[in-house]
Structure 1
Amino acid sequence: MCLNTGYPCDCLTPDVLCDPCRKMAHDLQAPGDKEHLSSDDGVAGGGPVAASAAATTPMEPTVDLSSGCVAEQCGNLGRLMSGLIAVNTLILGSALVSGTAYSTTSFNSADLQVYLIILMVLSGAWMVYYTVHTSQKHKAVLFKDGHAGPVWLRGGLVLFGVLSLIMDIFKIANYVGYLHCESAVKVVFPVVQIVFIFVQTYFLWFHAKDCVELQWNLTRCGLMLLLSTNLILWMTAVTEESIHQTGVPDFHNINNATSSRKSIIETVSFGEDECKCSHKACKTIKQAYYYLYPFNIEYSLFASAMAYVMWKNVGRLTDNHAPHHIRFHGKDIFFGPIAGILLVIAGLATFVVYEVEMDQEDVGRREHALMMHFVMNIVAVILMSGLTMVGVAIHMLHQQEHALGKNPTRTLDVGLLLGSSIGQLTVSYFTIVAEVGTGAKGHLNGLNLAWAALTVLQVILQNMFIIEGIQRLPYHEPHQPVSNVIANPNPYGCPNEELKSAADLEASEIDTGTSTAIHPITPKYHPRLTWNRRVLKEVCAFLLLANVILWIMPAFGARPQFDHYLETGFYKFSMWAAVVNIGLPFGIFYRMHSVASLFEVYLCS
C-alpha cells in the first residue's frame, strides 16, 4: 500500500513510511486533530513534518503509521477500549481493597495481592514490549512533548521509587517470619513490586515525553492498564496505612474530651493473635516500613499522572516550537527560603513533641501537645494566606501573556490541584460544622475551629495563585551582551620599535586566522530581578517549604482528627473515620502536588 500516488512504493508493509508517504500522511490530518498543534509543545525533530501538518487538508484524516487506519477511527476505538479497561480494573480493585480492609470472612489480603501481582506482571510485560518495539521501529516516536515529565518530576519519581524499594525489602524481611502460618503470596507480592517499580521507573524516565505514532490502540490500552495498576496500588497503600493508624475505640472507657491515642489510634498487628513471628526483628521492621508508606503512596500517584499524560499524547502532533528553557536561580531571593526553613524546623520540632506526648497517659500533657500542634498549624496557614494574597495581587496588577493551545500536562496539573484540594476542604468543613454545632467551648475547640476555617481560606487562595502562575508564559531573560574589546597592545610601555613589530606580527596572525590580540570579551551578566518577580519568587519559595511541612506532619502519623475527641463524638466513629480516611489522603497528596506546582511557578516567575 502506498499513500503517495506520484511515487508508488511498498513502505507500509514493514510499518515504516518513506519520506514522501510520511509527509502525505501528515498532510491528511483531520481538523479535529489541529488542536494538538500548540506553540507550547516541544518537538523531537522533523520541522517540515510539523509545518506540513499545520497546513492540513480539511476533509482528510491522519493515518496511523502502523495499522493504516484513520486518526478518528483509531482515536475513538483506542479511547473506548482503554477507558473500559481502566473502569473495570479500578472498580474490581476498589471492591477487593474494600472487602479486605475490615472483612472477617475467608476473603483476605492475600487474594487482593494475587490480583495486584497479575496487574503488575501484565503492566510490566507491556512496558518491556513498548520499550523494545519503539526502539526497533524507525521513527516510531516522531515527536516529544517538551512539557511532559520535566527533570524535577522524574527525579522525584526516582527518589520515591528508591524509598519504595526499601519499604518492599523491609516487607519481605517481615513477612518471611510468618511463612510457617501465612500464605507465601505475602512474600511474593513485594518481590514482584520491586521488579515492577524498577521497570516502571526506567520506562517513565526515558519515555514520559513520547508522542508515539505506532499501535495507537494497544498503546492506549497499555497505558490505561498501567495507570489503573498504580491507582489500585495507591488505594491499597492508603488503606493499609489508615488501618495501621486507626482502630475502633471503646467509647465506654472514654471519659475525657481528649482520649488516649491508644484507644483510638493503635497499631494493627500483622496476625500476631493467630500467628507468631519466627524472628524477633518483626516488630521493629514493621514500624520501619510503615514510616515509608507516604513515599510509596506518592510514587504511585506520580506514576499515574505521568502515564495519563502519555495516554493523552498518543498520536499527538506538535509544532516546531521548542519549550522554554528555564534555569533555576536562587541567588536573588533570601527572605522566602529563610522563613520557610525556619517554619519547617519549627514544624518538625512540634511534630516530634506531639507524637511523643500523645502516647502518654497524662491527659494534661496530651492536651498541651494538641494545643501546640493546633497553634503551629494556625501560624503556618496565616502566614501562607497572607503571602498568597500578596502573590495574587501581583498577578492581578501585572498582566502577563498566557500560554495558548492545549497542553495535557498543564490541564492535568490544574485538575489534580483542584481535585485533591477537595479532600482537605472536606475534612475542614466537617470540622467547622462539628465545632459550630457544639458551640466550640474551650480553648482546644476554639483553636480547632480557627485552624479549619483558616485552612479553607488558605487552600482557596493557594489554588488561585498556582493556577494563575502555571498558565502564564515564563519571563524572558534579556540576551547576554557581547562586547568587542580590543586588548591594549602596549600595556607596559614598551619601545615603539617593539610595539611596531608586535603590531606587524598581530596583523599577520589576523590574516592567517590565528590572532588572539583582538577578541570579543563576554562579561558575566546576571540581570537583576524586577521587584514584582522577586516578590513572586519569595512567595513561591516560602509556600513551597510551608507545604512540605504540612505534608510531613499528616503523612508520618499526625492525626489530631482522632486525638481530639469532639468530631468523633459528634459524627460517631464510623462516619468520622470514613471522612478522614478518604479526605486526608487526598489532602496529603494536595500538599505534595502543591510543592511541585509551586516549583514550576517559581521557575516561570
Structure 2
Amino acid sequence: MEVMQKCCVLFKPDTESKEMSGDSLLEVQRAKRAANLRESLFQILSGLYGIMIVILGAVIPITEIFMSEEIDSTFEGFYIYLYSVSILFLVYVYAYLLRRNRLKTELLTRTLSRSLSSSRAWAKGLARPDTDTKSKFRKRMISLDVSNHHTGTFYLRLGVLGFGIGSMIHSGLNFGSFVSVSGGDCSEPVQWVKPLIHLMFTFFQLYFIFMNSKMCIHRYKKLARFGLVHMCSTNICVWFRSIVVETLHVIHHSDTRGHHGAESGHHPASDNSTHARSYPHSAVGHGISHHGSPGPEYVIHDEGMEKTLVDNMSHVHHISRKLLAASVNASGNISSASKDNCHWKNMMSQAVEEAGPYLYPCTIEYSLMCAGILYIMWTNVGKRPRRPTRSELETDSEDDGVEDEQRAQRMSVDCTSSSRGLFLGILLMVGTIISIIAFYMLVNQEEMQDSAIFLTHMSGTFIYTVTLLALLLAAARMKNLSFHNQQEANLEDILILISYTGLLVFIIFSLIASILAETSTMSTLTILSNVSMLLQATVQTIFMLAGDRMFAATEKQVRKKPGREFITFLLISNFAMWAINTFQTQTPQHNPIQVDFYGPEAWAIFTHISVPLGIYYRFHSTVCFSNIWKNAWKKRKHA
C-alpha cells in the first residue's frame, strides 16, 4: 500500500508537468498564429500602399496637363517625396542591416570572382554548416539565397547597370540645363533639386540592386516591406511620368511647327468678324492624304463654340508648355516654346535636345527592370533561403568546378562551337550599322526620303527572315536536349513577356495603318516588314522560354553542343535589332504611313508607349540567349 502511494506521489508531478507542457505548447502555437496574422496584415497593407503610390503616379502627370496656368510645380513635391524616402530607406539598409554583415562582399565575390578555390570553399561551407554557423544564421538580420534565380541572373544585373548609367547621364544633363538658367520660371529651385535627387536615387538604387538582389531580410520585416514596395512603386511612377512627358514633348513640337507655319502665312489669318475656322480631321486618319496634305475638315460656324474651342486649345497648349519647361522628364528636351521664358545655354540645351530621344528609353527600361527585381525582393522578405543543390551551385558559379587547365580547354571548345555564329553575327551587325547610317544620310534629303524608307524596310525584313530561319534551325538541333518542365517562371520570363507585349502593340498599330491605307509600294513594304517582325518575335519568345529550361542529356551533347552556333548568331543579331529599334523605329520619318493614318499626336502616344518596350525586348533577348548559351549544354540534376 505504501508502495502504491509512493507511486502515485511520483506520478502526479509528471502528469502536472505534461499538462503544463501542453499548455505551453498551445501558447506557443497561439503566439505563432498571431505573429503570422500580423505579418500577413502588414504585407497586405504594404501592398495597398504601393498600389496607392502607383495610382497617384499615373494620375498626377495627366492632371498636370489640365491644371490652371496660375498653379506651377504643384506636384513636384510628390516626386521629391518618392526619391527622398527611397534614399532614406537605402541609407537605413546600408547603415544598419549591412553594417555588421559581410553579405554584400560575399555576393560580390560570388558574382565576379573567378577563383576556383574560393568557390569550392564557399559551397562546401554552405553545404555543411556547423553549429556555430547555424546559431549565427538565426541571429542574422539578412541572408543570401543563392538558389533564388527569380531576381535575375548576372547578365540581367549588367543590363540594369548599363541602363542605370544612361539614366544618370540623362538626369545629369537635365540638372545642368536647369542650373544654367539665368531667369524665368524655370529657375525655381525645385526644378534643379528634382533631377539632382533623381540622380542620387538612381545611383544608390543601382548599387543596392547590383550587390544585394538576392538578399532576404529577417529583422524589422514590416519596415523592409514598406521600404521595398515604396521603391518598386517609385520606379513605376518614374516609368509612367517618362512616357507622358516625352509624348507631350513630341506633340508640342508638332504643334509648334504648325504654329510657326501659321505665322509665316501658310494658314489663312482670321479677322475679327464671324468666320469659319477649320480644324483638320487628321487624328482618325481620314483627313490627311498619304503625303500629309490636308483632307476633309470640320468647319465650325458657331462663334461661341469657336471661341470656347480656341480658348481650350490655347490653355492646353500653354499648360503642356509649362509642364515641359518645369518638369524634369525622361526626354530632357527643351521645347522651342519654353525658350521664350527661359534662357538656356547653347551647349547644354543642344546636348539635352539631341541626346534626349536616345536616353529617355534608358530611364524607362531601367525603371522596369528595377521594379521587377524589387517586387521579387519584397515577396522574399522573411523567407529563409533553402539549401541549394549541388547542380544549382554549379550552374550559378562562373566556373564549373574543374581545374584551371580543364577549364581553359573547355572554353576553347566552346569558342570553336560558336565561331561560325559569332562571325556571321558580326557580319549582320556591320550590315545593320551601314543601313542605319545610310538611312540618316538619305532621309535628310527630300528627294531621297522614299529610298531611305525602302532601304530600312528591306533591311529589316531581311534581318527578321534570317533570324527566324536561325531560330528554326536552332530548335531542330536542340530538340534532343532534356527539358525541365517543372521550373517556375522567373523574373526574366515575366520581363520578356511584358516587353513582347509592347513590341506587339507597335506591330498591330502599324499593320492596321498599312492595310487600311491607300495601296502603294510603301504600304506593302510596311506590311511585309511588320509581318516578318511579328513572326520572328513570336517564335523567338517561345524559343527563349523553352530554351531556358533545356539542358544536356548525354555527355556527347556536352561535348558537341548542338545548335550553339545558332544561339551565338541570335545573341549578336538581337544587338543589331536593338540598334534598329533605338535609332530608326522611333523616328517619324521611318513611319510615314502610320503618321499619316493616325496623325502625329496619336502616333506619338503609341510609339512612346510601345517602342521603349520593343527596345527592351531586344536587349533582354540578348540576356536570355546568354543564359541559354551558358547553361543549355550542361548536365543538371534536379531535386
- Summarize deviations over 1:124-160 as a string: whole Å, max 9, x none: 1112212333235841124424423533333332333
5 Å-filtered alignment, 1:433-512, equals: 433-438=512-517, 441-472=519-550, 474-475=551-552
- Counterpart residue number, 1:297: 364
- Counterpart residue number, 2:603: 576
Counterpart of 1:78 (choices 42, 46, 62) is: 42
The one-letter code sitting in structure 2 at the alignment partner of 1:317 is: R
Structure 2 contact 142–217 (Cα < 8 Å) conserved: yes
Q: Within 2, Cα distance between the matches of 1:353 and 1:230?
A: 37
- Counterpart residue number, 2:7: none
The one-letter code sitting in structure 2 at the alignment partner of 1:339 is: L
- Counterpart residue number, 2:181: 178
- Summarize deviations over 1:349-404 as a string: whole Å, max 9, x none: 222232343333x1x31111111111111111111111112233344x31414164
Structure 2 contact 290–596 (Cα < 8 Å) conserved: no
Give secondary structure in 2 for the equivalent of 1:292.
helix
1:98 Cα offset (Å): 2.5
- Summarize deviations over 1:253-272 as a string: whole Å, max 9, x none: 99873559xxxxxx761654
Q: Within 1, Cα distance between the matches of 2:485 and 2:91?
A: 35
**CA RMSD after TM alignment:** 3.4
1:468 Cα offset (Å): 0.5
Distance 1:240 1:193, change over 3 A: same
The one-letter code sitting in structure 2 at the alignment partner of 1:346 is: G
The one-letter code sitting in structure 2 at the alignment partner of 1:257 is: H
Counterpart of 1:257 (choices 290, 293, 296) is: 290
Distance 1:289 1:580, change over 3 A: closer
- Counterpart residue number, 2:457: 374
5 Å-filtered alignment, 1:310-389, equals: 310-322=377-389, 323=392, 324-325=395-396, 327=398, 329=411, 331-332=415-416, 333-360=418-445, 362=446, 364-389=447-472
Counterpart of 1:283 (choices 328, 349, 352) is: 349
- Counterpart residue number, 1:189: 194
Q: Within 1, Cα distance between the matches of 2:355 and 2:72?
A: 18
For structure 2, list consecutive stretches of 5 or more residues without a partner in the other structure. 1-24, 102-138, 259-279, 294-332, 400-410, 633-639
Structure 1 contact 127–203 (Cα < 8 Å) conserved: yes
Q: Within 1, Cα distance between the matches of 2:375 and 2:605?
A: 28
For structure 1, list consecutive stretches of 5 or more residues without a partner in the other structure. 1-27, 29-58, 261-266, 479-526
Structure 1 contact 119–229 (Cα < 8 Å) conserved: yes
Q: Percent identity?
A: 22
The one-letter code sitting in structure 2 at the alignment partner of 1:116 is: Y
Structure 1 contact 78–216 (Cα < 8 Å) conserved: no
Q: TM-score, normalised by structure 2?
A: 0.68
The one-letter code sitting in structure 1 at the alignment partner of 2:592 is: Y
Is the deviation greater in 244-253 or in 143-152?
244-253
Distance 1:98 1:393, change over 3 A: farther
Distance 1:337 1:240, change over 3 A: farther
- Counterpart residue number, 1:589: 616
Give secondary structure in 1 for the equivalent of 2:219.
coil
The one-letter code sitting in structure 1 at the alignment partner of 2:94 is: T
- Summarize deviations over 1:75-97 as a string: whole Å, max 9, x none: 53233112212211111111122
Give secondary structure in 2 for the equivalent of 1:331.
helix
Alignment of 1:168 onto 2:171: yes
Distance 1:77 1:572, change over 3 A: same
Structure 1 contact 238–585 (Cα < 8 Å) conserved: no
Q: TM-score, normalised by structure 1?
A: 0.71
- Counterpart residue number, 2:86: 123
Q: Within 2, Cα distance between the matches of 1:222 and 1:477?
A: 47
The one-letter code sitting in structure 1 at the alignment partner of 2:535 is: L
Structure 2 contact 54–233 (Cα < 8 Å) conserved: yes
- Summarize deviations over 1:519-566 as a string: whole Å, max 9, x none: xxxxxxxx99544x341x222222222222222233346436664332
Structure 2 contact 585–611 (Cα < 8 Å) conserved: no
Q: Within 2, Cα distance between the matches of 1:554 and 1:79?
A: 39
Structure 1 contact 355–558 (Cα < 8 Å) conserved: no
5 Å-filtered alignment, 1:107-118, equals: 110-118=73-81
Distance 1:577 1:165, change over 3 A: closer
1:107 Cα offset (Å): 7.9
- Counterpart residue number, 1:93: 57
Distance 1:117 1:425, change over 3 A: same
Give secondary structure in 1 for the equivalent of 2:216.
strand
The one-letter code sitting in structure 1 at the alignment partner of 2:53 is: T
Relative to total residues, which structure has the larger helix share, 1 or 2? Answer: 2
Distance 1:586 1:159, change over 3 A: closer
Counterpart of 2:210 (choices 184, 205, 209) is: 205
Q: Within 2, Cα distance between the matches of 1:561 and 1:338?
A: 33
